[in-house]
Amino acid sequence: MGAAVSVLWWRAELAPLFAPAFAPASVAGQAAPSVGVIGVRGQPERETARRTIRAALQAALRTALAGRGDAATRVVLHAAPGEAPFAIADDGGAERRIALAISHDGELSVATFAFDGAVGIDVMHIVPVPDWEAVARDYLGPAVTRLLAGLPADERDAAFARAWSEREARLKCLGLPLDEWHAGGEAALQACRCLPLDLPAGYVGSLVLAPQPSSFY
């Protein structure tokens, strides 16, 4: 994996407005990148809080994508159950489809958008998994299972979470559901480019791109 990709964090307010946690000037004047990653951090203990965090993430996505066009750009998000999410940006009649991927775990929600090909993302809260070996054998494959088994116990939880996030993000990038590991599908998954996310302590995450060059902000 390459260098960690930064996440642009947004604050979710209980009021209708959602303000960015970064200054707009921090991205002004830069060349338009092909991939962006944004996130919202909050406490999702109650269903109302979870809905607020998800609404904030959607608002951040629409604002980030509209900001790449002119002031009249309209952005519509599409996220039907069982289908990969995507956005349509309309700059006054010229529609453009934008690939999206979204992930939630613990107090973090992250999303990524890509203008040049498919994209996947996954975030994992590092927690103990008592039956990690059986889960790894069924879903991560024999090579990863052997790697995890050879690690000290105090390193295994983070390594398991990292491996799981990589696999989930690869599957999302290719539009595939989570399924048990099988050798026949590995070539396509491994052909995707995988990069770690720069996340708060206690979390790991992966950004996965279709096999082609991309730039980031």
DSSP sequence for 100-167? EEEEEETTEEEEEEESSS-EEEEEEE----TTHHHHHHHHT-HHHHHHHHTS-HHHHHHHHHHHHHHH
pLDDT score at 12: 57
pLDDT score at 19: 41
pLDDT score at 14: 38
CA 24 to chain centre: 22
What value, to the nearest 5°, has the Cα angle with vertex 159 and ends 158 and 161?
65
Q: In this structure, are residues 86 and 111 in contact, taking their beta carbons and an 8 Å threshold?
A: no
The model's pTM is: 0.84
With a CB cutoff of 8 Å and minimum separation 6, the contacts of 42 are 12, 49, 52, 53, 56, 107, 109
Question: In the structure encoding, which two tokens stand for residue 185, read together?
Answer: 């599908």
Q: By three-state DSSP, how is residue 197 classified?
A: strand
Q: In this structure, are residues 111 and 117 in contact, taking their beta carbons and an 8 Å threshold?
A: no
Q: By three-state DSSP, how is residue 29 classified?
A: coil
Share of residues in the chain with pLDDT > 70 (%): 79
Question: In the structure encoding, which two tokens stand for residue 61, read together?
Answer: 């996505």
pLDDT score at 45: 63
pLDDT score at 48: 61
Q: For the chain, which residues score pLDDT lower than 70?
A: 1-2, 11-33, 43-49, 68-72, 212-217
Find, among 23, 110, 21, the residue nearest to 61 by Cα: 110
